[in-house]
């Protein structure tokens, strides 16, 4: 581009313990452009954003603003330099026990003179001005934010960010909770800001959205810059840049012949939620099924239904040919359906527990005697067995799990569910924040120890699925767009199914 960048990152690197989150990443953000950043879960997008906005300090590299080096100790320092961020977690962008007006005028309330706190009319007047720019006049300025819908909270955070007249506006998944109408209103505002010379860094998994609004696309893969795409581009090109090209089959991969006997798991007209398309799918004994698709395609929603976190709207789940109804995680575990969830930190790891307790916790009844006493020796031996089998790097099974790297924590969570017999094991984005060696270790154990059990690996990164799956199913907009056995894999066809628009997908399914 002809213009000089407003903000640049040069050679940025960041590690968390032994895990390398970013390595030598460089991007330029120019005035008057919407720069979209894409990458699979765990690719490093959020880490880079947090470095730019002052939440993390980089281990290597520099940030430049208007050509001058800048180093931030706090997000406030980045804000003062004109970098404004709306983070993905909506409730981090609002103060829930404050009113709409106070949230919209929060920057003024926090100003050095503090006079705004004693001028409620001025607060409401300023809030009304900010709300008007985003057509939020329908909101009650006196209402507590905690009473609002998630989409309204998101719009408040965005409106407040825009009110600061930022040089670089960073939006991390800004439409994740917005309706189509609200998203359109946001896009109209972003186009106006772009025309005014604002630089916008836009992160989203909705690639059709990016195809429409972005001027350039930057790709991050496994913590490394994967390339830049400039307009015009299509969704398929973005996906190819994200997941790479596959030259034939993965080196050395051999799949296991799976007998099409009674399915270990069968979905019959299963509707995950109201309005979602019915799913019909079978997973066979000894099969590793890979389910891929873009983030938001419906993989995690299916996983939560199968594991009893959410209830299905309609249809049937069968295990070994027998219909099962589970309204809770406990019911799913009794049916032999286990899951490694997507969000390891918040829904899997118990940070105050030892490695042993993290492995055995769901199955303590199996280590208990008739009198209810816990067999500590049996529990310890089982944890030691799984630690050795999974190659967990630790001092001992009694060490705190918080001492481990992300990859080794993930091995412990996988070990938790592999330690006991099961019918179906679901792994939802199991490689997030996991180094390549840990990923290979997990896949090796899954492949060598599957037996007659069924395993489902869900990942947006196609390469991660292809490394371990016997068969690949593509999800798109909540529906099964197609499937292929590994032996006759057609990468182009998989990408086609992945990148179809919802409208084209409906037409193809109906033809």
Of 154-158, 367-371, 500-504, give the range with the top mean pLDDT: 154-158
pLDDT > 70: percent of the chain: 89
The yes-or-no verdict on residue 133 having pLDDT over 90 is no
Burial of 63 (0-12, 13-18, 19+ CB in 10 A): buried
Give me the pLDDT at residue 347, please: 77
Per DSSP, the residues of 364-420 read GGGGB-TTS-B-HHHHHHHHHHHHHHHT--SS-TTSBGGGS-HHHHHHHHHHHHHTS
Q: Per-residue pLDDT tens for 273-306?
A: 898 999 999 999 999 999 998 877 889 899 999 9
pLDDT tens track for 231-248: 988 887 887 787 665 443
| CA distance linking residue 262 with residue 150, whole number of Å | 43
- Strand boundaries in 252-345, DSSP class E: 265-271, 279-283, 288-292, 314-319, 322-324, 337-340
Per-domain residue ranges for the chain? 1-82+166-244, 94-157, 265-510
Of the segments 53-62, 179-188, 335-344, which one has the largest average pLDDT value?
Answer: 53-62
Same fold, 1-82+166-244 and 265-510: yes
Q: What is the mean pLDDT of the chain?
A: 85
First to last CA, the chain: 44
Stretch 428-437: mean pLDDT: 74
Q: Which pLDDT value is given to residue 247?
A: 42
More confident residue, 312 or 437: 312
Q: Comparing 69-78, 267-276, 315-324, 388-397, which segment has the lowest mean pLDDT?
A: 388-397
Q: Which of 25-34, 192-201, 369-378, 433-442 has the highest mean pLDDT?
A: 25-34
The H or E element that residue 483 is part of is strand 479-485
Tell me the fold of 1-82+166-244.
Answer: Rossmann fold (3.40.50)
The stretch 85-108 carries a mean pLDDT of 83
Task: Using DSSP, state whether 114 is helix, strand or coil.
Answer: coil
Largest pairwise CA distance in the chain: 77
Burial class (CB in 10 A: 0-12, 13-18, 19+), 287: buried
Q: What mean pLDDT comes out for the span 488-509?
A: 79
Contact 297, 325 (CB under 8 A): no
130 with 159: CB under 8 angstroms? yes
> So what's the pLDDT on residue 427?
93
Q: What is the reported pLDDT for 248?
A: 39
- Over residues 140-157, mean pLDDT: 86
For residues 290 and 148, which has the higher predicted lDDT (pLDDT)?
290
pLDDT score for 511: 64
> How does 358-368 read in b/e, with b if 16+ C-beta sit within 10 Å?
bbbebbeeebe
For domain 265-510, say whether CATH 3.40.50.300 is its number: yes
**CA 506, chain centre distance (Å):** 25
Predicted local confidence at residue 491, as pLDDT: 83
High-pLDDT (> 90) share of the chain, %:
34
- Residue 498 is predicted with a pLDDT of 86
pLDDT tens digits for 324-383? 987 788 899 999 999 988 877 677 888 888 999 989 888 877 777 666 677 788 888 989
pLDDT of residue 411 exceeding 70, the answer is: yes
Tell me the sheet residues that pair with 458: 291, 428
Phi, psi of 280 (to 5 degrees): -125, 115
**Percent helix / strand / coil, the chain, rounded to 5:** 40, 25, 40
The pLDDT of residue 489 is: 86
- Residue 218 in contact with residue 36, Cβ under 8 Å? yes
Other CB atoms within a 10 A radius of the CB of residue 381 amount to 14
CB atoms within 10 A of CB 258: 17
* Mean local confidence (pLDDT), 144-172: 86
* Per-residue pLDDT tens over the stretch 448-474: 889 899 999 998 878 889 889 999 999
């Amino acid at each position: 581009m002809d213009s000089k960048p407003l903000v640049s990152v040069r050679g940025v690197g960041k590690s968390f313990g032994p895990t390398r989150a970013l390595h030598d990443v460089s991007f330029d953000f120019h005035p008057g452009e919407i720069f979209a950043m894409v990458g699979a879960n765990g690719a490093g997008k959020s880490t880079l954003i947090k470095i730019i906005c002052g939440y993390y300090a980089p281990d290597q590299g520099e940030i430049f603003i208007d050509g001058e080096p800048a180093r931030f100790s706090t997000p406030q320092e980045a804000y003062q330099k004109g970098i404004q961020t709306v983070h993905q977690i909506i409730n981090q962008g609002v103060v829930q026990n404050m009113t709409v007006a106070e949230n919209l005028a929060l920057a003024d309330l926090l100003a050095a003179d503090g006079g705004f706190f004693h001028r409620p009319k001025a607060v409401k007047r300023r809030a009304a001005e900010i709300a008007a720019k985003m057509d939020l006049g329908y909101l009650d300025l006196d209402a507590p934010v905690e009473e609002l819908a998630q989409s309204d909270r998101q719009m408040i955070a965005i409106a407040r960010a825009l009110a600061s007249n930022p040089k670089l506006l960073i939006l991390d998944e800004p439409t994740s909770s917005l309706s189509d109408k609200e998203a359109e209103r946001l896009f109209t505002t972003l186009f106006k800001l772009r025309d005014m010379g604002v630089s916008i860094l836009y992160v989203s998994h909705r690639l059709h959205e990016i195809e429409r609004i972005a001027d350039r696309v930057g790709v991050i893969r496994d913590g490394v810059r994967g390339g830049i795409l400039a307009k015009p581009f299509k969704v398929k090109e973005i996906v190819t840049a994200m997941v790479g090209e596959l030259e034939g089959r993965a080196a050395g991969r051999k799949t296991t012949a799976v007998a099409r006997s009674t399915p270990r798991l069968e979905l019959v007209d299963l509707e995950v939620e109201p309005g979602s398309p019915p799913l019909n799918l079978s997973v066979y004994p000894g099969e590793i099924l890979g389910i891929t698709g873009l983030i938001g395609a419906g993989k995690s929603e299916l996983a939560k239904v199968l594991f009893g976190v959410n209830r299905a709207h309609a249809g049937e789940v069968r295990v070994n040919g027998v219909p099962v109804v589970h309204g809770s995680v406990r019911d799913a575990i009794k049916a032999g359906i286990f899951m490694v969830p997507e969000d390891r930190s918040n829904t899997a790891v118990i940070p105050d527990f030892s490695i042993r307790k993290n492995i055995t916790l769901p199955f303590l009844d199996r280590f208990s005697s008739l009198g209810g006493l816990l067999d500590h020796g049996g529990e310890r031996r089982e944890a030691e067995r799984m630690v050795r089998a999974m190659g967990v790097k630790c001092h001992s099974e009694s060490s705190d799990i918080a001492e481990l790297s992300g990859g080794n924590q993930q091995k412990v969570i996988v070990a938790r569910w592999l330690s006991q017999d099961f019918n179906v094991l679901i792994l939802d984005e199991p490689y997030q924040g996991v180094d390549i060696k840990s990923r290979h270790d997990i896949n090796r154990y899954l492949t060598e120890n599957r037996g007659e059990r069924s395993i489902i690996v869900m990942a947006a990164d196609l390469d991660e699925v292809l490394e371990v799956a016997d068969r690949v199913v593509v999800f798109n907009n909540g529906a099964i767009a197609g499937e292929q056995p590994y032996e006759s894999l057609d990468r182009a066809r998989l990408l086609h199914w992945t990148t179809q628009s919802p409208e084209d997908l409906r037409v193809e399914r109906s033809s």
